[in-house]
Amino acid sequence: MSELKKSSSRVRSVTFAPLDREAFCAQLTFYRAVALPLAAPDLPTAAEECTPPPAPAESRSGRSYPLTFRIPMTELRLEDGHASGSYTDWFGTVPYRIANPWLRKEFHPIRTYFARHLRRSTVEVKADLWFNEADEPVIRRARSPQIDRIDDKTIAVLRARTLRDLIRTEPVDQRLFTREDLMANYAADDPVRALRPVTDGGEELLKEILGTLDVRNAPQLAYLAEHHERGQPLRFALTPRFGFLFFVRGNELHHYLLELLDSHATYVWSLPRDSGTLADHLQRVTQEVQHLNALGRSNYRRSNTFPYLFWTVRHEHIGSSFVDGFPRWKARVEEGLL
């Protein structure tokens, strides 16, 4: 007979399976029913079974334990380069960070938008629980496969989804807008606003439009963007359709060129450089754009009262597969940008 092995630790509890009374009695050769209790004694509760006995105090300093948990996306805080949160368990409440170089603090108000894109409301977090020299818990090396899926490609897809909403903005009036003015129409938790860089002066938005949408006059827009004076913010027009007002400083004139998406012509206002400051000229051109939108393009051209030079360049053969009208458009524009 083999030697019995001793248990390495004390047995904390023993639980028996339910007893089938009839089957049990059938196995007995003799029994008295009154001697068998009709009710089983109270068994320990689940809490009592799981409660460990008091253990002697010992330091956990330097020890590390694997940790896995799930947390709702809404309980995370999205910041520059990481998502942060806190986790509570037997060791208390401990903060943690999940690194992600694509995250920005501007994304925090739209974290539920990311959750919908990921098709789940919670994220899984794997980390190491470590105790420092003071025996305090620290969560290190936190990572999440769901947070890792938020990258430059994901953000580009989400931006593309909101781009059409942006260029279809309901105009509040017929003024020109800066990028800040345009985004002020959206709440902080609107993806149209949150997904776009706060440092963008309008150039990135134009690149996004040209790279995402099928715009008929894309070559004209790209050319004007290349010649727009650096340091001057792009202005946006919302009526009669979305477009841009570019500024080119010529040797003799200040030129303001209005190019609307999928339009048939470029509208240009040219003012002598010595006739006022840039602010004066912009204010005057803004008024002209308002008149243009109020009267319509044909009526504006017929009743034009602009005291300086106003001229247009048509987009000939635009969209044609046989004739490229861009070189002729470019030549005419360059002739006028003195």
User: What is the full DSSP assignment across 29-95?
Assistant: SS--GGGS-SSPPPPPPHHHHH-PPP------TT-EEEEEEEEEGGGSEEETTEEEEEEEETTEEEE
Do residues 198 and 80 touch, judged by C-beta distance below 8 A?
A: no
**What is the reported pTM?**
0.62
Report the distance separating Cα 182 and Cα 168, nearest Å.
Answer: 12
Q: Which residues of 87-97 are buried (b: 16+ CB within 10 A; e: fewer)?
A: beeebeebebb
**Where along the chain do its domains lie?**
64-149, 154-336
SS3 277: coil
What would the pLDDT profile of 125-157 be if each residue is shown by its tens digit? 999 999 998 889 999 999 999 999 999 999 988
Residues 6+ apart with CB under 8 A from 305: none
Pinpoint the alpha helices (H) of the chain: 21-26, 46-50, 111-118, 145-148, 152-167, 179-183, 191-194, 203-212, 218-227, 278-295, 297-302, 326-336
What would the pLDDT profile of 16-64 be if each residue is shown by its tens digit? 667 666 666 556 554 454 454 444 444 443 333 333 333 445 667 778 8
